[in-house]
Amino acid sequence: MTSQRKLVGDTVSTKVIQEVAAATNQETTQLPPLYNTIDPEALDEITSSSTTDKVPPIIQFMYSGCLVVVSGPDDITVESTNRSCCSD
């Protein structure tokens, strides 16, 4: 299952945590710390609208059993890499 919604507000790192929690049917506090996978401050900086005025970067990484693709500050896709990640 893939989750992709247009998101507005909060930081990209916060949105990633919220999207993965929703996709895995978990509370955000049940997920491992995002900083064990990627530097949240760097992710926020790279994807901030002030640095993406030309072509937004596409950042992919694995987090809590899901493939996360960040295509811009408000565009995050979470895709299951196994059955336990994103339940129907």
What's the pLDDT tens digit per position in 58-77?
999 999 999 999 998 889 99
Selection from 42, 31, 41 nearest residue 66 by Cα: 31
pLDDT of residue 88: 41
Provide the whole-model pTM: 0.79
Count of structural domains, the chain: 1
Residue 88 placed within a domain: no
Q: How far apart are CA 81 and CA 24, in angstroms?
A: 11
Range of the domain at 46: 2-80
Contacts of 63 (CB under 8 A, 6+ apart): 16, 20, 31, 32, 34, 37, 38
Q: How far apart are CA 38 and CA 55, in angstroms?
A: 21
Q: What percent of the chain has pLDDT over 90?
A: 58
Q: What percent of the chain has pLDDT over 70?
A: 76
